């Protein structure tokens, strides 16, 4: 018999205006992960096989901290947790929230534009990667980053809303442990060019599965799961 444990949401505070505060997309991820872990498996992967987890674009640190909470509740789930963000303010905020959740120096942080500042030692290491990316089409007021502010990094995904995700996909293969059990979770929006994104995903060798979606105002927010298909 599988016992369902109570997994709380992380405590999150943020007084830095450039940092994206958790919203429906953040909790779409958390609610899914909460349902998909038990004493033996995480979304079908054996807990002891998951060695490294990455929260890309961590913002306030909510996803990385949630995985740290899971570690405290499930003894077989003991991966190293990493978190990264392009903004220094996000790294500062995430570290503060880690302490707020009674943890300190458990998560390894990188300030990085996607994978650009990651060390070579992490190539082919991650079993689980989570990315809640900027997924909305660019505003006409933002042209080639000239007028881009810090907070714009949290939503502006490029002209079609998918350009940052496409760059992520190109870099992903170098850091994903695709020789072993692995999943990549990401959020997309119906306001972006999803058809073009799906073509790009197939071209770089991944299988994409839409797991869940919620409708908010004028868009669908979609939780997706990628898995690399070996040649």
118 domain-assigned: yes
Mean pLDDT of 142-153: 53
Any domain includes 30: yes
- Domain-embedded: residue 124: yes
Q: What's the domain range around 145? A: 24-228
List the CATH number of the domain containing 115. Answer: 3.40.50.150
Task: Name the band, by pLDDT with cuts 50, 70 and 90, for residue 157.
Answer: very low
Identify whether 9 is part of a domain: no
Q: What is the mean pLDDT of residues 201-223?
A: 93
Q: Tokens standing for 6?
A: 């109570």
d(CA 214, CA 199): 23
Instruction: Report how many domains make up the chain.
Output: 1
8 Å CB contact between 128 and 49: no
Tell whether 12 is covered by a domain.
Answer: no
144 Cβ neighbours under 8 A, 6+ residues apart = none
Q: Which of 146, 169, 182 is nearest to 45 (CA)?
A: 182
Domain assignment of residue 157, yes or no? yes
**Under a CB-based contact definition with an 8 Å cutoff, are residues 85 and 57 in contact?**
yes
Q: Look at strands 183-189 and 128-131 and give their pairing.
A: parallel
Structure confidence by residue, pLDDT tens digits, 15-28? 888 899 999 999 99
């Amino acid at each position: 018999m599988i016992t369902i444990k109570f997994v709380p949401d992380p405590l999150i505070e943020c007084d830095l205006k450039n940092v994206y505060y958790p919203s429906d997309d953040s909790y779409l991820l958390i609610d899914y992960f909460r349902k998909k872990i038990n004493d033996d498996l995480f979304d079908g992967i054996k807990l002891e096989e998951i060695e490294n987890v990455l929260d890309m674009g961590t913002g306030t640190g909510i996803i990385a901290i949630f995985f740290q909470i899971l570690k405290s509740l499930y003894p077989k789930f003991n991966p190293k947790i990493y978190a990264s963000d392009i903004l220094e303010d996000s790294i500062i905020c995430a570290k503060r929230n880690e302490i707020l959740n009674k943890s300190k120096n458990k998560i390894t942080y990188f300030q990085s534009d996607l994978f650009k500042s990651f060390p070579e030692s992490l190539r082919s290491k991650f079993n689980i990667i989570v990315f809640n990316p900027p997924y909305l089409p660019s505003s006409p007021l933002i042209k080639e980053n000239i007028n881009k502010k810090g907070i714009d990094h949290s939503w502006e995904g490029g002209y079609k809303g998918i350009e940052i995700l496409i760059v992520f996909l190109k870099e992903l293969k170098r850091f994903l442990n695709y020789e072993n059990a692995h999943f990549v979770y990401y959020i997309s929006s119906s306001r972006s060019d999803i058809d073009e994104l799906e073509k790009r995903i197939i071209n770089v060798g991944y299988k994409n599965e839409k797991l869940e979606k919620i409708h908010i105002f004028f868009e669908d927010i979609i939780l997706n799961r990628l898995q690399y298909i070996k040649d």
